[in-house]
Amino acid sequence: MSTTNARLRAVSVALAPATLLAGFVYHPYISNPIDEAAVAEALVSDTTRWGISHLLVAVGSGLAALAFLALRGYLRDAGEERRSVVALPLVVMGSTLFALLPAMEIGALSAVEAGGDAETAQSELRPWFLPVLLAGGIAFALGVCFFAAGIARSRVLGVNPTRLVVGALVVMAAARFVPLGAALYVSGVAGIVALWPLAYEMWRHPEIERTAGQPRPMPAT
């Protein structure tokens, strides 16, 4: 792979968590996301912000799938063939299902702008929203755990950065199951902590060819 293409991988890995975090931060704060009245109030308080924030989250979720695809390629080049190959379809499935959630909320926004009641729209949405959230969260969490194991096994990072990245990946996945508004921010920040060190490493070392488990050769002095 050319250096340019390899560095495009790094850019995609860095861009995805930044886009997701931007969407989470811009999203109106809701302390209890399972409270339909609170969600409806946030929706009607600023419909433009509601729409833009959910669009950012949807785009960020798509970028996350691309980021993990790029990471899978990098780990494959490092010789890690067992865990990341299982992880990738799970993460892609989880990211796809997660992208459906903001699409549903934009649909609720359209219903409100057409004259519907916001709380009723959220109530009708709930039976579809929660199963998609749960299924996507489980698939994403399983995939991320396999990726974390692959990163640790491949030794593409040093010992301490690996611990940081693996821990942040676990937090990012687990936060999707916590029914608190602050969990979105935790997930977004954890994504930055997990993926930016990997993106930096991919940028610095665009060409990597070695067997998983072998340390990076030290430069000659």
The predicted pLDDT at position 208 comes to 66
The predicted pLDDT at position 176 comes to 87
Q: Domain residue spans in the chain?
A: 3-204
| pTM across the whole model | 0.86
The predicted pLDDT at position 187 comes to 94
> Apex CA 190: angle with CA 185 and CA 196, to 5°?
125
99-117: average pLDDT: 90
The predicted pLDDT at position 21 comes to 96
Q: What digits encode the pLDDT tens for the residues 18-48?
A: 999 999 999 999 988 888 889 999 999 999 9
Of the two residues 38 and 218, the one the predictor is more confident about is 38
pLDDT beyond 50 at 212: no
pLDDT beyond 60 at 209: no
The predicted pLDDT at position 118 comes to 87
**Alpha-carbon distance values, 41 to 25, 30, 96, 108 (Å):** 18, 9, 27, 12
- Residue identified by tokens 């665009």 is 206
Q: CB count, 10 Å around CB of 59? A: 18
Q: What digits encode the pLDDT tens for the residues 142-184?
A: 999 999 999 999 889 999 999 999 999 999 999 988 877 889 9
Among residues 161, 167, 156, which one has the least CA distance to residue 189? 167
The predicted pLDDT at position 22 comes to 97
The predicted pLDDT at position 144 comes to 96
